[in-house]
């Protein structure tokens, strides 16, 4: 009885070891494959953006002067024609840039001079909406052409992006933009409506490429707030019926030729094959020749390469 019990234990242990070894062997040889098919190829350009109101009007100063009184606060709602700023203003004022930059210590004296030489003027709201920027308050000095305030329509939004000069040639009006804000649990769709005419850079000494402001219209969204950050994907190209493979499945050989591992249906083994590739897209690589539609390739080149090295 004892001998039978010991024999049973050893037999069970042997079977268990064999099963474990078989599982390890199978897991080592398991590689993921994918059939080569024709797909819709998509290219996209990623950019960071900021949510803004879409319909805004900026009121700029018609002359130089000083603010006597602000009738509204930033965030206030105004009707068209409502008074926003009461100012002392003239087109014949001396240079006020030294006051604005803080270099002139005779501030009160010059303010009094502004009052003596200027006329009182009222700036009113050019449209109904929300005061989303109020650049000057009581006692502030401003120059001709300077922004005084901005009025926006709360019902419509846009996203503002800065696109590198290296990528701007890929962007055009009307392109679709997929927008996602970290504060929201869903994505939105917008369309490019304007591309800036000039490029800017942080500093003249900066070695970074200049950027161009690009605006995409989003439309009316109840859950948006101005100032939200946005991850934007500009769809720059969409091509149908492209024979494609995953980017991870291809690698250049020592002869600088693209290669993939194709699964042999008869032997079940992965065999390296040289291919000719075309354009790279966001969702894969175009195949010009070397693979036929319907063949199966290894989706990760490194996996197949490691398996081949062990064989």
In this predicted model, which residue has the larger pLDDT, 10 or 219? 219
> What distance in Å separates the CA atoms of residue 244 and residue 277, rounded to the nearest whole number?
9
Same fold, 32-41+240-310 and 45-53+155-239: no
Q: Is it the case that residue 248 has pLDDT exceeding 50?
A: yes
Residue labelled with tokens 């000039």 = 198
Label residue 302 by pLDDT band (50, 70, 90). confident
- Domain range summary for the chain, segments of one domain joined by +: 32-41+240-310, 45-53+155-239, 59-152
pLDDT, tens only, 136-164: 898 888 888 899 999 988 778 999 999 99
Highest mean pLDDT among 153-157, 200-204, 268-272, 282-286: 282-286
Q: Is it the case that residue 23 has pLDDT exceeding 70?
A: no
pTM value?
0.66
Question: Encoding tokens for residue 59?
Answer: 């009121």
Question: Encoding tokens for residue 94?
Answer: 């001396």
Calculate the dihedral angle through the C-alpha atoms of 39, 45, 48, 50, rounding to the nearest 10 degrees.
-80
> What distance in Å separates the CA atoms of residue 44 and residue 282, rounded to the nearest whole number?
6
End-to-end CA distance of the chain: 46
Residue labelled with tokens 């003596």 = 116
The arithmetic mean of pLDDT across residues 271-296, rounded, is 94
pLDDT at site 310 = 55
pLDDT, tens only, 53-80: 988 899 999 988 889 899 999 989 999 9
32-41+240-310 fold? 2.40.420
Other Cβ atoms closer than 10 A to 165:
14
59-152 fold? OB fold (Dihydrolipoamide Acetyltransferase, E2P) (2.40.50)
- Which CATH class name applies to 45-53+155-239? mainly beta
Q: What is the mean pLDDT of the chain?
A: 83
Percent of the chain predicted with pLDDT > 70 = 79
């Amino acid at each position: 009885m004892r001998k039978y019990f010991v024999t049973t234990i050893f037999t069970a242990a042997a079977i268990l070891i064999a099963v474990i070894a078989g599982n390890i062997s199978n897991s080592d040889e398991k590689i993921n494959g994918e059939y080569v098919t024709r797909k819709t190829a998509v290219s996209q350009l990623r950019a960071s953006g900021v949510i803004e109101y879409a319909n805004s009007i900026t009121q700029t100063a018609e002359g130089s002067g000083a603010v006597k009184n602000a009738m509204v606060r930033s965030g206030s709602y105004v009707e068209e024609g409502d008074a926003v700023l009461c100012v002392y203003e003239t087109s014949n004022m001396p240079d006020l840039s030294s006051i604005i930059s803080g270099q002139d210590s005779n501030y009160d004296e010059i303010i009094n001079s502004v009052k003596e030489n200027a006329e009182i003027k009222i700036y009113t709201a050019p449209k109904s909406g929300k005061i989303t920027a109020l650049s000057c308050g009581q006692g502030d000095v401003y120059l001709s052409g300077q922004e005084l305030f901005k009025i926006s329509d709360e019902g419509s939004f846009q996203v503002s992006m800065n696109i590198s000069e290296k990528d701007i040639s890929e962007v055009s009006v009307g392109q679709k933009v997929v927008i996602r804000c970290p504060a929201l649990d869903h994505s939105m769709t917008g369309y490019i409506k304007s591309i800036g005419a000039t490029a800017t850079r942080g500093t003249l000494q900066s070695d970074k490429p200049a950027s161009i402001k690009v605006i995409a219209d989003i439309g009316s969204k109840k859950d948006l707030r101005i100032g939200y950050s946005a991850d934007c994907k500009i769809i720059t190209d969409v091509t149908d019926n492209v024979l494609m493979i995953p980017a991870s499945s291809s690698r250049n050989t020592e002869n600088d030729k693209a290669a993939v591992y194709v699964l042999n249906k008869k032997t079940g083994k992965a065999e390296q094959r040289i291919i000719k590739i075309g354009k790279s897209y966001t969702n894969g690589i175009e195949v010009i020749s070397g693979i036929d539609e319907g063949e199966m390739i290894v989706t990760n080149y490194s996996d197949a390469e490691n398996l081949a090295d062990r064989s």
